[in-house]
Amino acid sequence: MNSSTNAFRVYDGLNGIAVDKYNKHFQIQLWAEECLKLEAKVAAEIKKKFKPEFLVVKYRFKNTSAPPKVLLGSNSKTIVEENGCKFSVDLLDTLNPGLFLDMRDARKEFGKMCKGKTVLNLFAYTCSFGVYARKNGATHVVNVDISKKNLNKGKENFTLNGITLQMGEFFCGSAEEYVDWAIKKGKKFGAIVIDPPSFAKNGKETFSVATDFEPLAAKALKILESGGYLLLATNYSEWNGKILKKMAKNIGCKILKSGTQGNDFPGAGQSKESCMNFVIANFYLNPLE
């Protein structure tokens, strides 16, 4: 693992157990009920090998409402580094601590393409793509998310990285709402990220990757500059990389790069817990450009 990265998956054994490292904080995720019998053994090994400051177990299997169980430490918050970027995480905030480790390669590849560009980051969560974009020379990034709490964490991440917050860089609302508004206003972006959850609910509105991702991506092209970059990413368990590539081609994009999770996820694409895929593409208003 890159020496400037201290947040990664330690164990991804495809047997219902995953162990993630966030600096000196660790989390165990149990995806199958039968793994409960191994909980104590796995915890003991982590304590012995890594000397963690904080350790928590999260139960991800079906039909359980069991809350996370803290096995060591009292402060669930820490700062992690990834490819020269810093992020604040909290292992007890929700099941997801604030940074999706499986998106590391996608963030790095996209960041390289952002110098001198205005960037739109849809489904921004805690704005990690926005951090990478600004750190790599983007002139302005609009981060869009329905959660004000997530956007506030995004602002914290910008500040952690010495990034000066600009007016209009954080929009609380749905991706569809922002794209529709930007079309009406004639806004244009040099690069756009669309990284939605598999399913999301916003009041009476819902978003489903299976039915809504492609229409949103097609609509977003109306505000992407000719020759601009589009990153499409999903961890929807019913899709694979081929489906995502087909979607990019369906909406008229030229694929530049595709990928999946990093080398700390050896089971990438082989289970529902390891299914992230991404595509970076170009779009030209005139295909001959």
Q: Among residues 29, 64, 90, which one ends one of the domains?
A: 90
Report CA-CA distances (Å) from 283 to 33, 138, 191, 230, 243.
45, 19, 10, 7, 18
Is residue 236 within 8 Å of residue 262, measured between CB atoms?
no
Q: Record the pTM.
A: 0.93
- Residue matched to tokens 């990389």: 241
Contact 161, 85 (CB under 8 A): yes
Q: Give residue 20's pLDDT.
A: 96
pLDDT score for 275: 63
Pairing of strands 189-194, 118-122: parallel
**CA separation for the pair 116, 49 (Å, rounded):** 44
Q: Which two three-digit tokens encode residue 151? A: 């956007």
Domain co-membership, 240 together with 175 = yes
In this prediction, residue 267 carries a pLDDT of: 60
pLDDT of res. 2: 61
- Note the pLDDT of residue 206: 85
Domain stops at, among 46, 69, 90: 90
Token digits of residue 228: 């601009």
Q: Does one domain contain both 110 and 252? A: yes
Residue 65, pLDDT score: 86
Quick check: is 2 in a domain? no
Residues 141 and 199 in one domain: yes
Q: Based on the domain organization, do 220 and 124 belong to the same domain?
A: yes
Domain check: are 190 and 265 in the same one?
A: yes
Q: Are residues 205 and 260 in the same domain?
A: yes
Task: Kindly tell me the sign of the dihedral angle through the C-alpha atoms of 263, 269, 275, 278.
Answer: positive
Closest CA to 83 of 139, 169, 6, 162: 6
Give the pLDDT confidence score for residue 104 in this predicted structure.
Answer: 94
- Block residue for tokens 């869009």: 144
Both 259 and 196 in a single domain? yes
User: What are 16's two structure tokens?
Assistant: 């219902």
What is the number of H-type helices and E-type strands within the chain?
Answer: 7, 16
Say whether both 85 and 224 belong to one domain: no
Amino acid identity of 261?
Q
- For residues 120 and 223, membership in a common domain is answered with yes
Is 158 a member of any domain? yes
- Position 95 in a domain: no
Q: Strands 189-194 and 85-90: what pairing?
A: unpaired
pLDDT means per 10 residues, the chain with 289 residues, are 83 85 97 93 97 96 90 98 97 92 94 97 98 98 97 98 97 96 97 92 83 96 96 87 91 92 70 70 70
For residue 218, being part of any structural domain is answered with yes
What is the number of domains present in the chain?
2
Domain assignment present for residue 288? The answer is: no
Residue 195 in any domain: the answer is yes
Distance spanning both ends of the chain, measured CA to CA: 39
One domain for residues 148 and 176? yes
Domain carrying residue 271: 101-283
Question: Of 62, 90, 118, which residue constitutes the final position of a domain?
Answer: 90
Tell me if 32 is assigned to some domain. Answer: yes
CA distance to 31, 65, 144, per residue, from 129 (Å)? 27, 31, 11
Same domain, 272 and 165: yes
What does the DSSP assignment read for 221-263? GGGEEEEEEEEEEE--TT--HHHHHHHHHHTTPEEEEEEES-T
CATH number at residue 67: 3.30.750.80
Residue 150 corresponds to which amino acid? N
Same domain? 68 vs 113: no
Q: What is the pLDDT of residue 271?
A: 52
CATH number of 216's domain: 3.40.50.150
